[in-house]
A = this chain, B = another copy of it.
Amino acid sequence: MNISEKLGFKHIEWTDDHLVVLDQRKLPLSKEYFHIGSIDDAIFAIKNLVVRGAPLIGITAAYALCLVENQENRDSFFATCEALKSVRPTAVNLSWAVNRMINAYETHVGDDNPARILLDEAAKIHREDSKMCEEIGLHGNDIIPDECRILTHCNAGALATGGIGTALGVIYTAFFSGKTIEVWINETRPVLQGARLTAWELARAGVPHTLISDNASGKLMSENRINLVIVGADRVAKNLDFANKIGTYNLAVLANYHNIPFYCAAPTSTFDHNCPDGGSIEIEKRDADEIRKIFGAQISNPTTPAYNPAFDVTPGNLLTGIITENGIITP
């Protein structure tokens, strides 16, 4: 049984004429599937975090382009591509996947219907992502000691990719190779991907884990209870600065202060070769109600001003290394 089978869930699948995804807004309390039958459905799903995680957003966008009506209308298809790219600005995998679909589209001949070529390319992107996760897991396993207490942030797991995950892919590979792994999970306010998604995934895989408020990470580091930090990425610049979920930078500074190795795991589809450094990465600002409300419960006055950047930028010099499918890059 491979690692993917051990996780025991499917969260993205093309079926006949539409895309079915696990609705990540409903986890962990309810396991519901969301059916994407049109570009508008896909835009809704990406914008509202039905699917999230840089690689999974890319795969979803690729399949979504198989749902464009009148695909043979070149102008309309390209306009849809641009609209899709702009739904979430920070994760570069979205435009990377759309650009791959555009390149595939360009190879179709004259008046032929491009449907088959598009679906083949989307499935290929999906397959390749799954394979990249496995390779990231294997490379990453090299830096995990036999006994390791690992802190992770947000969800860079299967749920964020088309495979076993990036940061969690490393953790799964180490765990199923027989190492003694304990994971501390930052709950990851405001959207709580750690509490909702990472805890759910790790429980299914049987990996020992403990949930903490993001505020407890420093205390744990100061008490030598964290041996290594590993996170995912939404965009990696040429100088290895990278954008990831808000709070990643705090962890990088804390890990640096405590001399704890700090790794990012990301497939090369997350690298933006047009982006020289972190200052060039557009950071998505999301609705202030993500701060003022939690699961529908109003936690502050509805009129309290709130600021809600979804990502921050960690400078490459705070990284111990980036784990890719091709090996580990050190700054």
Contact = CB atoms under 8 A, between A and B. Distances in A.
Contacts of A294: 294-295, 297, 299
Interface stretch (A61-69, A104-112, A246-254, A265-273): A246-254
A219 B257 CA distance: 17
B298 A29 contact: yes
A216 interface: yes
Contacts of A78: none
18 contacts: A187-B299, A199-B301, A199-B304, A200-B300, A200-B301, A209-B304, A211-B300, A213-B247, A214-B247, A215-B250, A216-B247, A218-B247, A218-B249, A218-B250, A219-B246, A257-B257, A294-B297, A296-B297
A156 B29 CA distance: 35
B196 A299 contact: yes
Given A189-B189, A298-B29, A309 B216 contact: yes
Contacts of A189: 187, 189, 213-215
A49 interface: no
A296 to B, nearest CB: 7
A213 B190 contact: yes
A11 interface: no
A32 to B, nearest CB: 16
Nearest to A199: B304
Nearest to A247: B215
Nearest to A197: B300
Interface string A300-316: 11011111110011000
Residue with the highest number of chain B CB atoms closer than 10 Å, among A196, A203, A299, A301: A299
A189 B304 CA distance: 17
A128 to B, nearest CB: 31
Interface in A24-49: 28-29
A199 to B, nearest CB: 5
Contact of A196 (B199, B213, B300): B300
Contact of A211 (B212, B216, B306): B306
A256 B218 CA distance: 13
B216 A312 contact: yes
Given A295-B299, A299-B294, A306 B210 contact: yes
A307 B246 contact: no
A88 interface: no
Interface in A185-210: 187-190, 192, 195-196, 199-200, 203, 209-210
A300 B188 contact: no
The 10 closest A-B pairs by CB, nearest first: A215-B247, A218-B250, A295-B297, A219-B312, A195-B300, A211-B306, A218-B249, A189-B213, A215-B246, A294-B294
A189 B299 CA distance: 11
Contacts of A211: 291-292, 300, 304-307
Contacts of A298: 29
Contacts of A313: 219, 222
A253 B291 contact: no
A222 B249 contact: yes
